[in-house]
Amino acid sequence: DSGVTQTPKHLITATGQRVTLRCSPRSGDLSVYWYQQSLDQGLQFLIQYYNGEERAKGNILERFSAQQFPDLHSELNLSSLELGDSALYFCASSVDPGRHNEQFFGPGTRLTVL
């Protein structure tokens, strides 16, 4: 158990809908990262937050957004969902993103868009 929690574990929804994925980092970790894992794209970095502020953006679509709250939990919002958004979404956390610390991954949320 990495100490990173993600909810829900599974999510099934329809095209055009909006969903919210939630992540709680390990105790003491200030940095949260979101990744998308799909068969055709592999593991893609989406976005990073550090202590409530956006730090880095990767291959995140404009339909997707995220935030990190004062209690350090983070939410990833996916809107106007398309079939191609079906994937595993992982959250990871680390102590300090600038010190090459390893990231600890949550169990993921499997999103299925029908």
Partner 1 sequence: AQSVAQPEDQVNVAEGNPLTVKCTYSVSGNPYLFWYVQYPNRGLQFLLKYITGDNLVKGSYGFEAEFNKSQTSFHLKKPSALVSDSALYFCAVSGFSGSARQLTFGSGTQLTVLP
Q: How far is the CB of 47 from partner 1 (least distance, A)?
A: 10
Single out the residue of 40, 43, 49, 57 nearest to residue 89, CA to CA. 43
> Torsions phi, psi of 113, nearest 5?
-105, 120
What DSSP designation does 25 have? P
Q: How far is the CB of 52 from partner 1 (least distance, A)?
A: 15
Q: For the chain, what's the residue count?
A: 114
Closer residue to partner 1 in complex, CB, 17/41 = 41
Q: How far is the CB of 29 from partner 1 (least distance, A)?
A: 13
Closer residue to partner 1 in complex, CB, 61/79 = 61
Closer residue to partner 1 in complex, CB, 14/56 = 56
Q: How far apart are CA 85 and CA 104, in angstroms?
A: 23
Residue ranges binding partner 1 (CB under 8 A): 2, 4, 33, 42-43, 45, 48, 55-56, 58, 90, 92, 97-98, 100, 102-108
Q: How far apart are CA 28 and CA 71, in angstroms?
A: 11
